[in-house]
Amino acid sequence: MHVKFIQLYDAYFDDVYRYVYVKTGNKWDAEDLVSDIFRKAFEKRSSLAKHPNQKAWLFMIARNTIIDFYRKKKNVPIGDWMEHYVSPVDFEDPFKGRMKKNVCRKACPICQWKTWKSPSCGILLI
């Protein structure tokens, strides 16, 4: 029976991995799930004889394992502690802002900007 399972593993590993990778979009999660899928398949190998299509049987295990993975993941609380791991994203390029400021200083003798946010002449460069 072990020889048949090794043949099943060799025959369908790539297909199962691709399926799981597409569903998770993450290499590490895909590797963990594929190992779980084949572990479950090995534990239930006695029921494989009842199914005429080995690949469909294996993909049924894969589908159910992925569903369980997302159910568990859904219950992970996300709170304020996440702010410690995610840095705020600055959407404006600081170099571009300095260039605009320098251009305005050179072009507008009325306004020698003290700060970027408040030009005294009222001109706004975009």
pLDDT digits (tens, 9 = 90+) for 19-64: 999 999 989 999 999 999 999 999 998 888 788 899 999 999 999 9
The predicted structure's pLDDT at residue 42: 92
* Rounded Cα–Cα distance for residues 17 and 99 (Å): 49
The predicted structure's pLDDT at residue 35: 95
* Rounded Cα–Cα distance for residues 105 and 88 (Å): 30
Amino acid at site 68 = D
Please write the tens of the pLDDT for every residue from 69-115.
999 887 766 555 555 444 445 545 555 556 666 666 666 656 555 55
Give the residue among 10, 15, 4, 17 at the shortest CA–CA distance from 46.
4
* Rounded Cα–Cα distance for residues 98 and 30 (Å): 45
* Rounded Cα–Cα distance for residues 30 and 19 (Å): 9
